[in-house]
Amino acid sequence: MSISHEFTCFSLHQSLFLLPAFSAKFLSEPLPWAPESLKVSINSTHQCLHLQWSVHNLAYHQELKMVFQIEISRIKTSNVIWVENYSTTVKGNQLLHWSWESQLPLECAKHFIRMRSAVDDATTPEQRFWSNWSSWEEVDVQNSLGHEPLFVFPKDKLVEEGSNVTICYVSRSQQNNISCYLEGVRMQGQQLDPNVSMFNLHNVAFIRETGTNIYCKVDRGDDIKGIVLFVSKILEEPKDFSCETRDFQTLSCTWDPGRDTGLLKQLPQSYTLFESFSGKKTLCKHKGWCNWQVAPESQEMYNFTLTAENYLRKRSVHILFNLTHRVHPMAPFNVLFKDVSVTNATMTWKVHSTGNYYTLLCQVELYGEGKVIQKHNVSVKVNGELVLSGLEPDTEYSAQVRCANANHFWKWSEWTRQNFTTVEAAPSEAPDVWRNVKSVQGYCVVTLFWKPLSRLQANGEILFYNIVVEDLDRPSGLQLLSVPAPANRTELTLDQRAYQIHVTANNSVGTSPASVLVVSGDPGDEEVEEERVKGTEDGFSLSWKPQPGNITGYIVEWCDRPRDPLCDLQWKHLGPNTTSTVISSDAFRPGVRYNFRIYGISTEMVPYLLEKKTGYSQELAPSDNPRVVMSNLTSHSFTLSWKDYSTESQPSFIRGYHVYLKSKAGQCHPGSEKAVLSDDSVCCKYKIDDPKQKMFVVGNLQPESFYEFLVTPYSAVGEGPHGAFTKVTTPDEYSPMLIRIILPMIFCILLIMILCYLKSQWMKEKCYPDIPDPYKSSVLSLIKSKENPRLTIMNIKDCVPDTIEVVNKHEGTGKSPTEPEAAKPTYLYLLPAEESYSGPGPCICFENFTYNQAASDSASCGHVPVPTKAPSQLGLLTSSENLLTALEKNCMNSLEEIPAGESSLNYVSQVASPVSGDKSSLPTNPPQPELCSEYKMQMAIPLGLAAPSSSGSSSLSSITLLDEGEHYH
């Protein structure tokens, strides 16, 4: 703790009248005016010790200048921490006071105070005769603290940031280990006695408005005690302090109070205004401004002192000024405009009276379209007036005025602003007109476009446009069309004659000059070749050849959005001597092709196309690859074509195409070059320089090889995307040849098969009828013609049936009818009337089961066992062929004679060759008839007709030859 930091809380200064004789008299004995009745009190809040005492034996009427020496000890009397001589003038019976503020909280230690006195002789201070010391007065606040175990001091102390503060704690128990913290950070202290420690805080900082928390707590216990140290920011000196008057009645003083102290609740600050000439003082209600009433007695000079003050600090600033030099006029008022015409207006305004008729300087600013276009200075006493000229018709203007003291400029008043609009006039310019002509069904469809007049040209609101169409062939033929604004186009349908079109814009006052255009039937646009131009970011630089003859000007026409159906037609008028221009537009986009047409306008106002230009503001690499069709694939080549690829719609001028070919071999043939793609793959690149060439034959290929190709366009800025390659595999060399042979063969076979199928019935009848027609048999005819012309075909009428075949149908068995059991026939033998029939008799015809696989083993005629005597009876049949012929003929005939309703008797072809080796399987006993049996008529061949077989072992299995009394089955 530093003693030097402690100071007196306040001092009393009193005059003292010394008596020289008095000094001499009391030199040899103790001073009779010793301090007595010393009382010490404390103010804990301010950590002050207040001393009060009186002077012994001082007469009531006496006044004595005395000095009191005060000693303060801490903890013990010998530890003197403060000695101060306090001089004052003492009157009789006067109670004297002195205060001292302790840096260490008074609660933290005992304090002892004593004093002595002397007559204050300023001339010889070293020869003072001091009285005796008073007895020590002990101040021990700790005794009154109570019985809590822990205390921290000082409570709620207010300091400025940067101050040094001493904190202490008092513990009731020496055993307690106590730690103290500043905002959570432990502090290192200094022990004053076993129960008290103190902590010196240097240069304390402002932390928050609610103060800094300092607390101590017992290490083993819940007890916590603390204080809040309110650290204030230093009160700043007011800045920019100034005063001014607007009406000579009130002075308005303003200042910048600077930053807050941060402790507005605990440390409120006040601002006081003091004027020294008048001696008046006012406490300002606001932090940054204060009003002062101007003295009615016309005080011109003012000397103000502004004092900012809080509990800890006081700050003052001064200003001295003449009131007339601090006049801030009020804003002009009643700003009016009169006599407003097309180009002029008179502005008037008034100023607030200052009472002394000062001359004011007023400044007028005229705004048009947001910019100052005129500035004027006017001297004004009371009313101001100014004529504004050079204005535009039908234009809104804004004028503002402000004033200041002309003699001693201090500040401008605020602006007062007012708007006015000049009156309308007829449009001054003809509308800018252009046309688009289309020929539709023999008529000219003319679309007229015009640009709206600028505000300066329109001189008012355009209400409508008049269009007069004059037939140049018939001057009397006029057509008038009125189009209301804000339309900017109209369409006319004219015949093929020439017309002169006049377009005027009209407002409420009048009509604009006419814009004239001649439209003829023939636009004549097609004969001009198109040139390419290179655009830049600034636009397209176009130039054209000067036209001989009378030209009134040129027009450049283009579309801002050429890809849209409504292409947003634009045009630009150029003078007759101009042969170049730069066309720029915000609508121009990279990668879009813009087409420009340059027209010359003749003196007859007829436009005719001079040149066509096309170009890009910025070329972009092609974005799409053509859709390629591959054809003519052979083992050595294939053809690529992309006929439908439009070069016009590409984002740059296409200069040609690159054909990339990838192969496993990696060999590039002449005409191509190796190229490395972005994926590091190597391929062959063929270059096509002609953008119109949209076909390419890739040759020199290997048979049965795998290739990949890609066709991409290229322009000046690059080529198209390297997208997916198309894969192709060449065929082998012989495949085409084979295909040429095999395909026709297959075709022929198919044709034959189809024919066979279609003519199967015919074929069947011709080649293998189910029941051969003996009459149609070539064999028979051959026999007939060559061997035995008497041979004839057995007639069914001649056949006497002798056996009935009974076919058993097993119902309910669930078996397929094709199974042998299901179709097993049962034979019923029909015997001839004569028992010993040996002559020729009717033959018996059996059902032919040759075509019934399931029944062939049991029901075939061929299964009929041949009787041992049969060869003799069959001797008529000399050969098997004869027999076959005879049988066929007879059976066919018999079939033909069967009525349709009797179809249950089956007659089957007998020509099937017998199955040899199956005889043993023939049933030995005839089967018994069963219910639901079908009877099949069996035809007996008359023996006379049945030619005897030359061979007994003939395979006439379909014939049953019956002997007398014997039944063979």
Partner 1 sequence: MGTSAEPHSLVLGLLFLSMPAMGSCSDKYPELLGQLQKQADFMQHTNTLLDLYIRSQGLDKNGLKEHCRERPGAFPSKDALQRLSRRVFLRTLDTTLGQVLLRLAALEQDIPKAQDLEMLSGVKLNIRGFKNNIHCMAQLLPGSSETTEPTPTSPGASPSPTPTLDTFQRRLEGCRFLHGYHRFMRSVGQVFREWGKSLSRSRRHSPHQGLLKGARRMQLSGRNKRLMPRVQLAPGSHRGAPGG
| Residue ranges in contact with partner 1 by CB under 8 A | 152, 155-156, 181, 183-184, 207-215, 217, 222, 224-228, 264-265
The pair of structure tokens assigned to 58 is 């001082």
- With vertex at residue 340, the alpha carbon angle to CA 338 and CA 344, rounded to the nearest 5 degrees, is 115
Q: How far is the CB of 285 from partner 1 (least distance, A)?
A: 20
Q: How far is the CB of 40 from partner 1 (least distance, A)?
A: 24
Q: What whole-number distance in Å separates Cα of residue 757 and Cα of residue 91? A: 161
Task: Respond yes or no on whether the N-terminal peptide bond of residue 486 is cis (omega within 30° of 0).
Answer: yes
Give the residue with the Cβ less far from partner 1, 209 or 244: 209
For residue 554, count CB atoms less than 10 angstroms from its CB and return exposed for 0-12, middle for 13-18, buried for 19 or more: buried
Give the residue with the Cβ less far from partner 1, 228 or 633: 228
Give the residue with the Cβ less far from partner 1, 261 or 614: 261
Give the residue with the Cβ less far from partner 1, 150 or 498: 150
**Contact assessment for residue 169 and residue 216, using Cβ atoms and an 8 Å cutoff:** yes
SS3 call for 820: coil
Q: How far is the CB of 257 from partner 1 (least distance, A)?
A: 18
Cβ burial 323-344 (10 Å sphere, 16+ → b, else e)? bbebbbbebbeebebeebebee
Enumerate the H helices of 711-827 as residue ranges. Answer: 735-758, 760-767, 778-786
Strands 224-232, 185-186: pairing kind:
unpaired
**Contact assessment for residue 878 and residue 787, using Cβ atoms and an 8 Å cutoff:** no
Question: Residues, the chain, total?
Answer: 969
Q: How far is the CB of 170 from partner 1 (least distance, A)?
A: 14
Give the residue with the Cβ less far from partner 1, 311 or 367: 311
Secondary structure letter of residue 498 according to DSSP: -
**Contact assessment for residue 617 and residue 540, using Cβ atoms and an 8 Å cutoff:** yes
Give the residue with the Cβ less far from partner 1, 228 or 677: 228
Q: How far is the CB of 149 from partner 1 (least distance, A)?
A: 14
Q: How far is the CB of 153 from partner 1 (least distance, A)?
A: 10
Q: How far is the CB of 214 from partner 1 (least distance, A)?
A: 8
Q: How far is the CB of 114 from partner 1 (least distance, A)?
A: 32
Which residues have a Cβ under 8 Å from the Cβ of 567 and sit 6 or more positions away? 559, 560, 561
Distances, alpha carbon 76 to alpha carbons 137, 171, 192, in Å: 11, 19, 12
Q: How far is the CB of 184 from partner 1 (least distance, A)?
A: 3
Q: How far is the CB of 420 from partner 1 (least distance, A)?
A: 46
Cβ burial 400-417 (10 Å sphere, 16+ → b, else e)? bbbbbbeeeebebbebbe
Q: How far is the CB of 268 from partner 1 (least distance, A)?
A: 12
Could you tell me the strand order of the sheet in which 333-338 lies?
333-338, 345-350, 383-388
Give the residue with the Cβ less far from partner 1, 263 or 360: 263
Give the residue with the Cβ less far from partner 1, 185 or 833: 185
Secondary structure letter of residue 353 according to DSSP: -
Q: How far is the CB of 213 from partner 1 (least distance, A)?
A: 5
Secondary structure letter of residue 423 according to DSSP: P
Give the residue with the Cβ less far from partner 1, 230 or 599: 230
Give the residue with the Cβ less far from partner 1, 156 or 491: 156
Q: How far is the CB of 47 from partner 1 (least distance, A)?
A: 14
SS3 call for 558: strand
Strands 695-698, 672-676: pairing kind:
unpaired
Q: How far is the CB of 270 from partner 1 (least distance, A)?
A: 19
CB atoms within 10 A of CB 399: 24
Give the residue with the Cβ less far from partner 1, 154 or 622: 154
For residue 137, count CB atoms less than 10 angstroms from its CB and return exposed for 0-12, middle for 13-18, buried for 19 or more: middle
Give the residue with the Cβ less far from partner 1, 214 or 859: 214
SS3 call for 550: coil
Q: What whole-number distance in Å separates Cα of residue 169 and Cα of residue 152? A: 4
Q: What whole-number distance in Å separates Cα of residue 18 and Cα of residue 919? A: 186
Give the residue with the Cβ less far from partner 1, 213 or 852: 213
Q: What whole-number distance in Å separates Cα of residue 123 and Cα of residue 172? A: 52
**Whose CA is closest to 942, among 794, 720, 736?**
794
Give the residue with the Cβ less far from partner 1, 19 or 224: 224
**Contact assessment for residue 657 and residue 698, using Cβ atoms and an 8 Å cutoff:** no
3-state DSSP percent of the chain in helix, strand and coil, to 5: 10, 40, 50
Q: How far is the CB of 198 from partner 1 (least distance, A)?
A: 18
Give the residue with the Cβ less far from partner 1, 180 or 861: 180
Give the residue with the Cβ less far from partner 1, 151 or 540: 151
Q: How far is the CB of 173 from partner 1 (least distance, A)?
A: 19
The pair of structure tokens assigned to 432 is 């800018």
778-786 and 880-897 helices, crossing angle to 10°: 120
CB atoms within 10 A of CB 863: 25
Distances, alpha carbon 416 to alpha carbons 350, 376, 412, in Å: 10, 15, 12
Give the residue with the Cβ less far from partner 1, 148 or 819: 148
Q: How far is the CB of 75 from partner 1 (least distance, A)?
A: 25
Sign of CA dihedral 240, 242, 244, 250: positive
Q: What whole-number distance in Å separates Cα of residue 299 and Cα of residue 276? A: 12
Q: What whole-number distance in Å separates Cα of residue 227 and Cα of residue 198? A: 13
Give the residue with the Cβ less far from partner 1, 265 or 371: 265
Q: How far is the CB of 228 from partner 1 (least distance, A)?
A: 4
